[in-house]
Amino acid sequence: MKITLIEPRSPDFHIFSLYPLPRLGVILLGTILKQRGHDVSVVVESMGEVPWDEVASSDLVGISTITSTAPRAYEMAESLNEIGVPTILGGPHVTFLAEEGISHADYVIRGEAEKSFPMFVEALSGERDMAKVPGLTYKLNGDILENPMEGEALSLDELPEPDFTLLGTHFFKKKGWTKRVIPMQTSRGCPYNCNFCSVTRMFGRKMRYRSLDAIIEELRKYDDKRNSIFFYDDNFVANPKRTKELLRRIIEEGFKFISSAQVRVDAGKDRELMRLMRDAGLKTVFIGLESVSPESLKKMNKSQTLEDMEEGLRGFREFGISVHGMFVFGFDQDEEKTFKETVRFARRNAVDSVQFLILTPLPGTPVYKEIEEDGRIIIKDWSFYDGHHVVFSPKRVDPYCLQRAQIRGHRRFYSTLEVIRRFYRFDFFNAMIAAYAKRLSSTWVKENKLYLKVIKFLKPSAEYILSIDLRRKGTDVKEAITEALERASIKVRRAASMKYPAGSKPTTPKG
């Protein structure tokens, strides 16, 4: 069977846009299907245009979705359906909103799909009953049917090494002064339970690990100083003892690549772990610091204190490991002063680079449920749900104040003076990162002018709109205003020179 798997591009750019890193999901699925004898193509839209002539001749097209790429995924699926190409959607967004997804495609696969997707392909070929495919949502005689999810969690050692050749030779070409970034997963899941995160709802809280021998064997294939390994785990140090053993093995191998990973800040308090990270060539860590407000940290179920954060950051600095800190603005306990204190905290603790993200109520999370039930969602166009746009009405500040705080936070942290300071300290790499981030922030503001005007308009009106007395005849007014806001959000996206959701479409009939 000829199968194409597509990862749609994100609607916006951000600090990670320098590295067009593909998610492992479609690559792993493609690898599994290729090993089973299928003719497989994998397309990551952020790395190049979609070859629609080839896609249109597929027997099946699978499209991955996260919330911000869902509109593009839906557009692709609908266009392919129009020319008779069967489509299936997967990924976190449609896992939690399967009924929405099935209205745009022929099938939806929910949850982890490495086991269930090959079963679905067998069912599509008539070799298996559709009703026996775990996590499948499909249509039958006008009804929408949902199969139960797989009961047993997937063992990561059952998975093959991802075949990046499915992406074409351009994936292995070095881009400018950056290294080739190779994503590698050593574990799946997260033992924590932050209320704004969908990871535990998608993959569970129980950690699953690959064997160290399998990891080392895969790393040997990328032992090149031109490479940078990004450990794809949501928490690379969830089991410190295991992480230390892996790092010792990496040191023993004498690998020439550098690496980076996502970790918790308290890892910086473990001096043995820091030494091993440094000696293993782990140069950068990505840390969800989230907030400097103790009330917000408690509300989000983030089990850390400001003292923990400062002590951990000192540890990373001491061992020369760069920190990319990620903060989230917009929790119910946040006030305008919270945002200013966050920037001061990041600068005071010499965080090398930052992202000031806006709280995004992603489907499947407790935050989404709470904000939706409160009637505080003001924009329902999923393409805005990227951590950079305000899509709800916060409790203690208005939407425009929140958006402005994020923009100003980046401007203050990545100021021209800060770029110059880094050059004078001979910290050339982080100086270039700061200069790049400064330019990126300015570009984002220019490209989102219309959106910013709309969100500024909502400043005096959002609370009024959301508090119209339902006992009056104004019920219809509220519905009309809500519909108008939804239409406005679509106009904003299309008019703001974002090239999204409008994108290239297939026009070649199948066959």
* Among the listed residues 99, 1, 55, 77, the one whose alpha carbon sits nearest the alpha carbon of residue 363: 99
Q: Which residues contact 70 (CB under 8 A, 6 or more apart)?
A: 93, 94, 101, 382, 383
Query: Would you give the distance in Å from CA 374 to the centre of its chain?
Result: 25
Is the pLDDT at 208 greater than 90, yes or no?
A: yes
- Per-residue pLDDT at 212 exceeds 50: yes
Of 168, 136, 135, which Cα lies nearest the Cα of 149? 135
pLDDT over 50 at 31, yes or no: yes
pLDDT of 45 higher than 70: yes
Contacts of 12 (CB under 8 A, 6+ apart): 68, 386, 388, 389, 444, 498, 500
pLDDT (mean) for 434-439: 88
**What is the residue whose two structure tokens read 């409008």?**
502
pLDDT in tens, 439-480: 888 988 988 888 888 788 765 444 444 443 433 444 455 565
Q: Maximum distance among all alpha carbons in the chain?
A: 74
Mean pLDDT lowest among 85-99, 205-219, 366-380, 448-462: 448-462
- Residue 334: the pLDDT is 96
pLDDT at 22 over 90: no
Q: What is the number of alpha carbons within 13 Å of residue 205 lying toward its C-beta?
A: 6
User: Class assignment of domain 174-450?
Assistant: alpha beta
pLDDT interval class at 162 (50, 70, 90): very high
Instruction: Tell me the C-alpha to C-alpha distance, in Å, between residue 354 and each of 9, 99, 118, 326, 351.
Output: 22, 36, 40, 6, 7
Predicted local confidence at residue 495, as pLDDT: 40
> Which range, 26-40, 429-443, 448-462, has the best average confidence (pLDDT)?
26-40
> What is the token pair recorded at 26?
């479609």
Measured CA distances, 429 to 288, 310, 352, 385, 435 (Å): 22, 23, 10, 30, 10
At 500 the pLDDT is 39
* pLDDT attached to residue 497: 36
What are the Cα distances from residue 472, in Å, to 364, 373, 423, 477? 33, 21, 63, 10
3-state SS track over 86-100: CEEEECHHHHHCHHH
pLDDT tens, residue by residue, 315-356? 999 999 999 999 999 999 999 999 999 999 999 999 999 999
Sign of torsion, CA 37 217 174 233? positive
Does the structure show a pLDDT above 90 at 482?
Answer: no
Mapped onto helix, strand or coil, the DSSP state of residue 29 is: helix
Residue in 228, 342, 235, 339 with CA at minimum distance from that of residue 287: 235
pLDDT interval class at 485 (50, 70, 90): low
The pLDDT tens digits of the residues spanning 274-324 come to 999 999 999 999 999 999 999 999 999 998 999 999 999 999 999 999 999
Q: What's the confidence (pLDDT) of residue 462?
A: 44
Which pLDDT score is estimated for 436?
A: 86
Ranges of beta strands (E only) in 45-191 are 60-64, 87-90, 107-109, 136-140, 143-146, 180-184, 187-188
Alpha helix (H) ranges present in 9-88? Answer: 24-35, 52-55, 70-82
> Scanning the structure block, which residue is given the tokens 């679905």?
120
Interval 104-118 mean pLDDT: 96
Q: How confident is the model at residue 507 (pLDDT cuts 50, 70, 90)?
A: low
- Three-state SS at 64: strand
Tokens of 194: 């932050």
Burial 58-83 (b: 16+ CB within 10 A, else e): bbbbbbbbbbbbbbbbbbbbebbeee
Task: Note the CATH number of domain 2-146.
Answer: 3.40.50.280
**Across all residues in the chain, what is the average pLDDT?**
88
- The model's confidence at residue 119, banded by pLDDT at 50, 70 and 90, is very high
- Is the pLDDT at 391 greater than 90? The verdict is yes
pLDDT beyond 90 at 429: no
Burial 306-331 (b: 16+ CB within 10 A, else e): eebbeebbebbbebebbbbbbbbbbb
220 pLDDT band, cuts 50/70/90, is very high
Of the chain, the percentage scoring pLDDT greater than 70 comes to 86
Going from N- to C-terminal start, the domains of the chain cover: 2-146, 174-450
Residue 327: phi, psi to the nearest 5?
Answer: -115, 150
With contact defined as beta carbons under 8 Å apart, do 324 and 352 qualify?
A: yes
Q: Is the dihedral of CA 483, 488, 489, 494 positive or negative?
A: positive
pLDDT value at residue 173:
61
